[in-house]
């Protein structure tokens, strides 16, 4: 069923086909509804957007930028992390800078090289670890630390429905249900001043919807994939889910919606796990020493040995 007489550009899971204008409205309404339904924003925020320069984070920044212009109590900043992945991050950061310049958003860039002394590429030459594991630890560490330094009240990321669906399935497969308790449109188990609350405004938007929105709003650049992705466990789960979605449309929505029903129970079950302070760096930690410091120690010891 077509929305109107204009040419449709996307078919929704419901069967409805939307033109450019109606899809734009649909997508922005969906994000607004997600923000309201899950109470992602308060009346006043010093809001940060974790900006990679890819289509998802540009989309969330684009929409929150529009919101901030009509609501001066929502102040907006962008934080970008430069891991030093050669041939990949430099390109996406260029897109990030370009967008922030055009839209008058203050952009703060922090690099692994400056903060930890090594780029990710250099770390991977020293330690035999899965790239995404070490990269994720350092990125989340830096995002939280810098968000606190900037006195941000919330940090929005571009995670979409596909990302969440993959995480849910990955955690099930790895018998890591505690990690799933931290998922959801509002990340984490409890509100704690050691963490800047992370939110996912694109939570109910599929990757295809985000890409379509990015395309029609000039936010889509040429395909650029992190060189470490194809070998990852996540990529394999992603491909499996896309295969299922092709054969059984609605699989991803159903997976995430059913997960949302169990999420309050999971958060309740794991709520008592206290957030510790890392004995080395004083940042929040699940253990006595945080994962970032554990990796930094391993890197330091490996360099000394070499």
Which residue, among 159, 163, 131, 157, has the nearest Cα to 144 in the 3D structure? 157
Shortest CB 288 distance to another protein, Å: 31
Residue placing its CB nearer to another protein in the complex, 72 or 230: 230
- Give dist(CA 271, CA 239) in Å, integer: 33
Residue placing its CB nearer to another protein in the complex, 195 or 213: 213
Q: Quickly count: other Cβ atoms within 10 Å of residue 55's Cβ.
A: 24
Residue placing its CB nearer to another protein in the complex, 251 or 302: 251
Shortest CB 210 distance to another protein, Å: 8
Shortest CB 41 distance to another protein, Å: 24
Shortest CB 206 distance to another protein, Å: 8
Residue that the structure tokens 């984070």 belong to: 57
Order across the sheet with 154-156: list the strands. 106-111, 74-82, 45-50, 154-156, 197-199
DSSP-assigned beta bridge partners for residue 76 = 47
- Give dist(CA 109, CA 96) in Å, integer: 10
Residue placing its CB nearer to another protein in the complex, 7 or 306: 7
Binding site for another protein (CB under 8 A): 7-11, 17, 20, 52, 54-56, 88, 92, 160, 162-163, 207-208, 210-212, 215-216, 220, 222-226, 228-229, 238, 242-243, 245-246
Residue placing its CB nearer to another protein in the complex, 45 or 245: 245
Confirm if 134 and 123 have CB atoms less than 8 A apart.
Answer: yes
Shortest CB 286 distance to another protein, Å: 24
């Amino acid at each position: 069923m077509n929305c109107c007489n204009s040419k449709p550009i996307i078919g929704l899971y419901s069967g409805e086909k939307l033109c450019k204008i109606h899809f734009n409205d649909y997508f922005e309404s969906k994000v607004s509804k997600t923000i309201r339904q899950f109470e992602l924003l308060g009346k006043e925020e010093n809001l940060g957007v974790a900006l990679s320069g890819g289509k998802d984070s540009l989309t969330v920044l684009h929409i929150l930028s529009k919101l901030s212009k009509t609501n001066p109590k929502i102040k907006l900043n962008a934080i970008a992390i430069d891991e030093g992945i050669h041939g990949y991050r430099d390109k996406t950061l260029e897109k990030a800078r370009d967008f922030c310049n055009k839209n008058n958003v203050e952009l703060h860039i922090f690099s692994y090289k400056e903060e930890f002394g090594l780029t990710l590429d250099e770390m991977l030459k020293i330690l035999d670890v899965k790239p995404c594991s070490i990269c994720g630890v350092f990125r989340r560490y830096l995002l939280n630390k810098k968000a606190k330094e900037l006195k941000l009240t919330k940090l929005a990321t571009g995670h979409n429905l596909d990302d969440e669906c993959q995480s849910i399935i990955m955690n099930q497969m790895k018998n890591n249900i505690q990690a799933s308790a931290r998922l959801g449109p509002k990340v984490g188990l409890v509100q704690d001043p050691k963490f800047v609350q992370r939110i996912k405004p694109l939570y109910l938007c599929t990757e295809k919807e985000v890409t379509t929105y990015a395309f029609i709003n000039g936010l889509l650049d040429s395909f650029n994939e992190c060189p470490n992705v194809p070998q990852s466990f996540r990529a394999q789960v992603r491909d499996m889910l896309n295969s299922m979605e092709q054969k059984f449309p609605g699989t991803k929505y159903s997976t995430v919606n059913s997960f949302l029903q169990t999420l309050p129970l999971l958060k309740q079950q794991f709520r008592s796990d206290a957030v510790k302070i890392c004995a080395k760096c004083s940042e929040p930690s699940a253990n006595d020493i945080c994962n970032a410091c554990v990796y930094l120690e391993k890197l330091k010891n490996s360099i000394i040995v070499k």
